[in-house]
Structure 1
Amino acid sequence: MLSSKKEYHHMLPDRYNFREAEPRLASFWREAGLYAFEPHGPTFVIDTPPPTVSGALHIGHCFSYTQTDVIARFQRMRGKQVFYPMGFDDNGLPTERFAEETLRRKATEMDPQAFIAQCRVLSERTEDDFEALWRRLGLSVDWRYRYSTISPQAQRISQWSFIQLYRAGRVYAQPAPTLWCPECRTAIAQADVDDALLPTLFSTLAFRLANGDVLPIATTRPELLPACVAIFVHPADERYRHLIGSMATIESAAFAEQERIEVPILADEMADPGKGSGAVMCCTFGDSTDIRWWRAHHLPLRAAIGRDGRMTELAGPCAGLKVAEARKRILSALASQNLLLGQETIEHNVGIHERCGTPVEYLHTRQWFIRVLDQKERFLAAGRKIRWNPEYMRSRYEHWVENLQWDWCISRQRYLGVPFPAWRCRACGELLLADLEQLPIDPRTTEPARPCSCGSTDFAPELDVMDTWATSSCSPFLIGRWIDDPAWFAQIFPTDLRPQAHDIIRTWAFYTIVKSLYHTGEIPWKEIMISGHALSASRSKISKSKQHKEPSPAELLERESADALRYWATSVKVGTDTFLNMETVAAGRRLVNKLWNASRFAEGRLEDFAGASAIPATLLPADRWLLSRLGRVIAYATQQLEKGEYAAQRAEVEHFFWSDLCDNYLELTKMRLYGEPGPARAAAQWTLYHALLTALKLLAPYLPYVTDEIYQQFLSRWDGARSIHVSAWPTEHPEWVDLQAEEVGNALLELLRKVRRYKADRGLSVGAELDCLHIEASSALLTALSAARLDIRSATRARTIVFDDGEHVGVLDEQAQERLVLKLG
């Protein structure tokens, strides 16, 4: 019979109110400077992704940034000084487009400086909102180091990088075929282009040969006829070999400033005999093949499409039309003149600007480039020095590097961005770079500090701005104070971890590796952890710039709690895409409640706990079993998080907490925990304390709020830290692992399962008493089980327990109404 004790008054309330606790704890962490980085001792540095300021944060951000925070919290509890800064990418096209949508005006319709000022105001307000959400989610960021990629410090580092690369011969400017977005009216890099499978017409046109015969030419871009400069055939194609060197013409007054287009027929092995008619137009420019032919064969340049995406004067009657309109008009005119031999609808890959979804064009414009094509092997070798998590993501990086076709275009024809620190002399054309001491500088508003070498002081400023990736790729330099604090930089660089999503491997990861190698000769980070995406109901990536129906993070935080949302975010393996699964969020909420209720139970049983001194000598079989399991869980959890495998770690800890600790150990030891003081109760108290504290610590990186609330209100009196998040990570105890204890423990669990099944089959409650429990097992197992008699009675509610080794039967209660005979082992 359980001892009657004076009722214990809990410090932990009956229910956990996350709406009250989470904001309160977030304020405490902030005021206490709990996550402040101090540059001494062992460090762990995270090169955190600066989210673009292009709309509201969404559930996908909570998904990936929580995964990073788990690693940060783990390393902090491991005794590392964690440098975990947060930045915001607010210096480029995404922010401009966000401002245009917010203001409902195009940048081209406003004074440039007024537009930039509006962008700055909007960015600052949005970044404050971002920070508030990150704090509410529980990210353990040191907000003293918050940065912006349009800040003077970021501009200075970006301009410094540009000047150093220019002096090293890695940067150049030249007129060249360039990827161009007609909607955003700017050059873009190869990495800014996505592929989209779109329907289009594959039209066969009738060119004429000198003898009057028809030469069929199939194309998806008839609007580029005014820019046609040649026709190519394969040199081994017997159908056309005799035509190489001759001319072909097409006549129509509907599509060009001249009525007749006459071009040479040339041979090149890139012409595909099996595609269309085998003869193909080369226009300047329809695709990258056209560019290669134009360069290799020294063809003329004819620009039929302008920077605004409309046809140029070269298109004659079609001048001023948008590309799609011109295409329809030209096809209609060709059909009316019997020059359209056939059409079929096909689907083909079209390059679109990933920012706005507009099909890109290839225009001949002057741009700034960083040389990368001549260094592919170096970039591949650097990628292999970095640990990729998951490992297979490295192949995506290598595939990108191996298939690069362009040097990195870093100039943009926009307003909001880091200016190029350069002027060009109007007298002699020489480029003059700013002095390093002048940085940051805007050449559009500031004159050079010295005259040109020719003596002139008449300069034209560089009007373009840098691509946002040219600044974001400097993030390790920015957080490392690269050019201002060599001692700090030596401690910060290379960073330990770069977390990022897989869609920006080709941009942020690649460009950062490029900059790091060019400036330091080293890789920028030791490990890169690639997150997946949160997907919408339509199976597409949730993004700030696209409409989606998923609830906002603020709504979910208020409705479900930060801990429950973080639980969902860490439920899949690294690199895996997933949907917002409200059942998983609900499972997180149940875990939070179970932690709370188990802790309230433990609080009542530990009111006279003597403290976490040396391991008791009087441990019973159930205690030794649980400690052995706990020793394994600590070792596994630590190993998995060292590898960044947060999902596997949490699943194992969660199983230990639910099954081993709550469902089984607490049931086995309730009699001892409720009983009178003594060695048996002290052993259960000691085991319960260590198991609960360890489970809370192992789950603290995932569920930071509820674990810290329990710790501060209950367990810190013995463990001693001001917060669970700056307490010590559980120490591995290989001496706790005991195979024999686990065998006995497994026998106890088998016994519990059989008793529970027996009661369930008869409609009895779990707490129903049994008259007699008859246990048959080997002599060795019975010896251990007999030492657990009190715990067996606690879990089974058996009045009488008989142990039988098959030879010596114990005294049976012949009057028992309910007798259960179990065979174990």
Structure 2
Amino acid sequence: MEMQKTYNPKDFEARLYEEWEKNNYFRAEADPSKIPFTIVIPPPNITGQLHLGHALDNTIIDILIRFKRMQGYSALYLPGCDHASIATEVKIVEQMKKEGLTKNDVGREGFLERAWGWKEQYGGRIVEQLKKMGVSCDWSRLAFTMDDNCSRAVREVFVNLYEKGLIYRGDRIINWCPGCKTALSDAEVEYTEDESFFWHLKYPVKGENRSITVATTRPETMLGDTAVAVNPADKRYEDLVGKTLVLPLVGREIPVVADDYVDMEFGSGAVKITPAHDPNDFEVGLRHDLEVIRVMNDDGTMNAAAGKYEGLDRFIAREKIVEDLKACGALVKIEPHAHNVGHCYRCKSTVEPIVSKQWFVKMEPLAKPALDAVARNKIKFTPERFTKVYNNWMEGIKDWCISRQLWWGHRIPVWYCQDCGETVVSKTDPDCCPHCKGHDLKQDEDVLDTWFSSALWPFSTLGYPDKSEDLKYFYPTDVLSCGYDIIFFWVARMIFSGLEHMKKVPFRDVLMHGIVRDEQGRKMSKSLGNGIDPLLVIDEYGADSLRFSLINGVSPGNDTRYSRSKVEASRNFMNKIWNASRFVIMNAEGRTIPDIQDVKLSAADKWIVSRLESCVKEVTLNLQKFELGIAAGILYDFMWSDFCDWYIELCKSALYGDDEAKKSATLGVLCFVLENALKLLHPYIPYITEEIYQNLPNVSGSIMVSEFPRYNSKLAYKKEAKAFERVMEVIRVVRNMKASVGCPAAKKVKLFVSTSNKAYVNANTTSILKLAGASEIVFCDNGACIGEKTVSQVTELCTVYIALGDMVDLEKERARLQGELERVVGEIGRADGKLHNRGFMDKAPKNLVEAERAKLEKFIEMKAKIEAQLREL
């Protein structure tokens, strides 16, 4: 192939991905001769499309997979999608609403038919989007949380936990979303500080002329109060414990109970107890055997137990109840109060803590081994600070509500015999009741929490419950990479599920990355309209530019900001690599390229080879430590500065000279360094590195299955490299001296050099002259031999002198500086005048006055420098 003159990723990205797939390069086999390395994809929901969070996550995973594949591992990147019960059902309900239909209109089967159609349409779209990113997933193993094998795994796990007594059904307080009309786990509730009120209510003591004052943030729930609690040590209420209060508006008699739950110092020290609508009240109710009265329907309206408020929306009922409490004299006062309110993570409706009959997983027996695995370093978090976050959540974990009142998802594998009332829990659909042999069985209407199935992802995708070869070989997986925002949703649940069902940890390392934010640091969202479609970025800049911009300089666990300028900078880097590679390939065309160990290397050659070996060592080490951003920065600096800006310029004299041996050796070094640099870069920017690699001389096959460079101490040339860096210092110094006096970079100047190592300077004269922009080097003991004013600089190798007149026209420079001095003096007078103007000082804002003072100081400093330069001239 011939490389195009300009870098255009559209010319080759799609073609190369097709070649990779055709040649099965992504396929990972259970090969006993290789070490396995496995990462399962954090499965994207089928509801949407690729966003920048997916792009970052999959770029991180793909870098690690490509790195390990090139190191000789059997590297499996296992892809898949999640059915996302709540999110998908919301989307389909919205779609049906536009058609004038409801779930009940189409029925369960009709609804599920639509859901599977949605999966086929959008699940496939996400796969194609991931391919555009260049990720090297083993698509032959594409999984879906509701495919046959994953569904078998879900039933296996549910029944096993049930039989162990770790899954139970009961009436407990759960988080209820009136918008989605389903239960939510604690992890699915997002808390925000809302401005609200404390309503202080007076509950009269039956038969006495006194009352107890309580406070609430949800007056509508007071209709379900079944007690008022006080602290047993509170002397204020000692004589009231055991007495009866009359509940305002309702007239129900409720007891005063003593419970340590009550904080004597908070408010009045008396708390209304509503067991059906508050988790803490529910526990108090259990201790005191209180009645549980639920006053709200699933849709957030008040039910029959709410009396005359039945049918009202909860917030409208709140207003009416407050009015009626005020009218009957029960409302003492209203205080503004900001407090945390739970919202559904999907539809953002205010969540209601409510008593409901649901299915739960007992968490205490599962949490203990999961905590122990991390404590014993069987699983490590990167960054380490997330260990504490994980431990805090697991130590305080409550039983997990796993039932959802939806139709899309894994239906709970429980049947109820309508003849004898038997509950049948089975891994397969039962034909009859095992107790009475009756055939009238009704399956539980609910489905399982989406996270129940995704908690099994590391082993359900590898064949569990069957003891497949893939499961034996690729499990446990090696790394779990995901955003820190799903540490509770997913990471913790995979850990305890893997330990419980596989008796092994699901992965050895958890690599947490941050959130991709916009340029202003805001989280991307539909409401802000600041989301970025990565496919549009790819279309404009190419996948490699996007991938590199997301990783370069980013550290694990920290948020990153997306900006067009970062992508453009990465695109410029791709251009630099492309142009440098094209230069090498064009010069190597038609020539036999020698092995660098068979030729004589110059000082510059040994320096670049040494820099390459250092790069290999540092990049490998940082990739192993998951410091992908640091490794990217090292690669950027090596390619841009060391290889392109320095070595390619240094080697041009040899390439364009008449010495064939030097030319041949230089081409050997150029090709050797470029080939290895491309291999180091390949995990980050797979497309451009593959396209260039296939055009290199002396290589064959794909770069993605080539060997990742290994550090070679024989090629380190540490002493030689350090010595040559002294030559580079001279070049930099000359460039800086020329720039400091305004000498054009292209102007050739004579260098006078004082050194004790003339031989080394002579050996590298060509490099110094070419890159420093010098005409010749003259050795002298000091600058006195020049006979006129000089500019000098001391370096480790030598002292360099340049005649000032050789760099600038002294008369013109004097005139220029004099003009600049006059301008600066004028600015000083202007600023000083303002600062001594009473009108300005009295009326101008403080920041404007400070700005003028800063300007005056700056111009005074400039004046001193110009005067010093004039004195030098």
TM-score relative to the length of structure 2: 0.86
Is residue 73 of structure 2 the alignment partner of residue 76 of structure 1? no
**Equivalent-residue separation in structure 1 for 2:215 and 2:674 (angstroms):** 72
Gaps of 5+ in 1: 1-9, 253-258, 442-447
Q: Is the 1:773–1:822 contact (alpha carbons within 8 Å) kept by the matching residues of 2?
A: no
Trace 1:27-106 onto structure 2 (pairs within 5 A). Answer: 27-40=18-31, 41-90=34-83, 92-104=85-97, 106=102
Change (3 A) 1:743 1:783: farther
**Equivalent-residue separation in structure 2 for 1:603 and 1:718 (angstroms):** 11
The one-letter amino acid of 2:607's match is: W
The one-letter amino acid of 1:743's match is: K
Trace 1:53-452 onto structure 2 (pairs within 5 A). Answer: 53-90=46-83, 92-104=85-97, 106-210=102-206, 211-252=208-249, 259-384=250-375, 385-404=378-397, 406-434=398-426, 436=427, 438=428, 441=429, 448-452=430-434
Aligned to 1:481: 463
**3-state SS in 2 of match to 1:495:** coil
Change (3 A) 1:116 1:517: same
Q: Is the 1:773–1:819 contact (alpha carbons within 8 Å) kept by the matching residues of 2?
A: no
Which range is displaced more, 96-105 or 261-270?
96-105
Change (3 A) 1:331 1:540: farther
Aligned to 2:514: 532
Change (3 A) 1:629 1:203: same
1:575-633 per-position Cα deviation (integer Å, ceiling 9, x unaligned): 22122211111111110000011112222332355335252552222222222222111
Q: Is the 1:64–1:569 contact (alpha carbons within 8 Å) kept by the matching residues of 2?
A: no
Q: Is the 1:307–1:363 contact (alpha carbons within 8 Å) kept by the matching residues of 2?
A: no
**Equivalent-residue separation in structure 2 for 1:775 and 1:81 (angstroms):** 57
Q: Is the 1:74–1:729 contact (alpha carbons within 8 Å) kept by the matching residues of 2?
A: yes
In the TM superposition, residue 538 of structure 1 has moved relative to its aligned partner by 7.2
Trace 1:668-679 onto structure 2 (pairs within 5 A). Answer: 668-679=650-661
Change (3 A) 1:676 1:707: same
The one-letter amino acid of 1:663's match is: D
Q: How many equivalent residue pairs?
A: 787
Q: Is the 2:228–2:255 contact (alpha carbons within 8 Å) kept by the matching residues of 1?
A: yes
Q: Is the 1:233–1:265 contact (alpha carbons within 8 Å) kept by the matching residues of 2?
A: yes
**Equivalent-residue separation in structure 2 for 1:432 and 1:167 (angstroms):** 11
**3-state SS in 2 of match to 1:350:** strand
In the TM superposition, residue 326 of structure 1 has moved relative to its aligned partner by 0.9
Change (3 A) 1:239 1:776: farther
Aligned to 2:834: none
Aligned to 2:10: 19
The one-letter amino acid of 1:726's match is: V
Change (3 A) 1:539 1:301: farther
**Equivalent-residue separation in structure 1 for 2:740 and 2:652 (angstroms):** 24
In the TM superposition, residue 44 of structure 1 has moved relative to its aligned partner by 1.0
In the TM superposition, residue 261 of structure 1 has moved relative to its aligned partner by 2.9
**3-state SS in 1 of match to 2:236:** coil
Change (3 A) 1:708 1:102: farther
In the TM superposition, residue 246 of structure 1 has moved relative to its aligned partner by 1.6
Is residue 791 of structure 2 the alignment partner of residue 794 of structure 1? no
In the TM superposition, residue 118 of structure 1 has moved relative to its aligned partner by 0.9
In the TM superposition, residue 342 of structure 1 has moved relative to its aligned partner by 0.9
Is residue 527 of structure 2 the alignment partner of residue 569 of structure 1? no
Q: Is the 1:198–1:347 contact (alpha carbons within 8 Å) kept by the matching residues of 2?
A: yes
Runs of 4+ in 1 over 6 A off after TM superposition: 817-820
1:239-263 per-position Cα deviation (integer Å, ceiling 9, x unaligned): 22232222222332xxxxxx41321
Q: Is the 1:637–1:653 contact (alpha carbons within 8 Å) kept by the matching residues of 2?
A: yes
Q: Is the 1:513–1:523 contact (alpha carbons within 8 Å) kept by the matching residues of 2?
A: yes
Q: Is the 2:215–2:271 contact (alpha carbons within 8 Å) kept by the matching residues of 1?
A: yes
The one-letter amino acid of 2:45's match is: T
C-alpha RMSD over aligned residues: 2.4
Change (3 A) 1:728 1:102: farther
**Equivalent-residue separation in structure 1 for 2:18 and 2:437 (angstroms):** 61
Change (3 A) 1:32 1:486: closer
Which range is displaced more, 502-511 or 674-683?
674-683
Aligned to 2:804: none
Aligned to 2:707: 728
In the TM superposition, residue 568 of structure 1 has moved relative to its aligned partner by 1.9
The equivalent position to 1:552 in structure 2, one of 486, 508, 533, is: 533
1:437-485 per-position Cα deviation (integer Å, ceiling 9, x unaligned): x4xx5xxxxxx23442233333222221111111111111222112234
Gaps of 5+ in 2: 797-873
Which range is displaced more, 330-339 or 27-36?
27-36
Change (3 A) 1:594 1:184: same
1:172-227 per-position Cα deviation (integer Å, ceiling 9, x unaligned): 22232222211111122122122121111111011112422232111101101111
Trace 1:593-632 onto structure 2 (pairs within 5 A). Answer: 593-607=575-589, 610-611=592-593, 613-616=595-598, 618-632=600-614
Change (3 A) 1:38 1:819: farther
Q: Is the 1:414–1:465 contact (alpha carbons within 8 Å) kept by the matching residues of 2?
A: yes
Aligned to 2:631: 649
Change (3 A) 1:176 1:621: same
Aligned to 1:5: none
**3-state SS in 1 of match to 2:529:** coil
In the TM superposition, residue 762 of structure 1 has moved relative to its aligned partner by 4.8
Q: Is the 1:767–1:797 contact (alpha carbons within 8 Å) kept by the matching residues of 2?
A: yes
In the TM superposition, residue 283 of structure 1 has moved relative to its aligned partner by 0.5
Change (3 A) 1:267 1:98: same
Q: Is the 2:159–2:425 contact (alpha carbons within 8 Å) kept by the matching residues of 1?
A: yes
Larger Rg: 2
The one-letter amino acid of 2:537's match is: L
**Equivalent-residue separation in structure 2 for 1:109 and 1:217 (angstroms):** 46
In the TM superposition, residue 307 of structure 1 has moved relative to its aligned partner by 1.6
**Equivalent-residue separation in structure 1 for 2:578 and 2:195 (angstroms):** 57
**3-state SS in 1 of match to 2:639:** helix
**3-state SS in 1 of match to 2:252:** strand
In the TM superposition, residue 317 of structure 1 has moved relative to its aligned partner by 1.1
**Equivalent-residue separation in structure 2 for 1:663 and 1:589 (angstroms):** 17
